[in-house]
Amino acid sequence: MDIAASGHAAALWVGLHVFLLLILSTLVVRLRQKHKVALGDEGIPELARAIRAFGNASEYVPAGLAAIILLAMVGAPPLAIHVVGLILFAGRLVHAVGLSNSGGASIPRAVGMICTWLAYLFSAVALLFYAIA
């Protein structure tokens, strides 16, 4: 297997996820400046949702990126890395949009979590396969 191609696939998805985190963080900073809030959300629902959208992505993205990087390191096919990266990215993006628009339960939030879990599941199975193969 071409490790370089796997590394390039991983680099694409790591880069995109880092940009997603940067964008979500920037949204929080802008809302903090707009509402003149230095710490917490001061009960401003829009700010609370932005903080949670960034926080939730910060909780789920690192493990997904670790899986993507490890898949590249063990020489998983680029397609497998692209599948994990795309499903995780789509899930985190849809979840962030859903959470930013509504603090309650929503279809985008549910779809985002399902995609995230599918990316986790696929990567976990692939990593275990490479661990014992």
Model confidence over 66-105: pLDDT tens digits? 999 999 999 999 999 999 999 999 999 999 999 988 878 8
Query: What share of the chain in percent tops pLDDT 90?
Result: 92
Tell how far CA 121 is from the center of its chain.
14
Q: Whole-angstrom Cα distance, residue 133 to residue 130?
A: 5
3-state SS, one letter per residue, for 56-99: HHHHHHHHHHHHHHHHHHCCCCHHHHHHHHHHHHHHHHHHHHHH
- Residue 23: CB atoms within 10 A of its CB come to 13
Question: Residue 85: what residue type?
Answer: G
Give pLDDT, residue 3. Answer: 80
CA angle 59, 65, 67 (to 5 degrees): 110
Q: Record the tokens describing residue 67, joined without a space.
A: 């899986």
Residues 41 and 52: beta-carbon distance below 8 Å: no
pTM for the whole structure: 0.93
Max Cα separation, the chain? Answer: 55
- As a whole number, mean pLDDT of residues 22-51 equals 96
Give pLDDT, residue 1. Answer: 61
Is residue 118 scored above 90 in pLDDT? yes
Domains and CATH numbers, the chain: 3-132 (1.20.120.550)
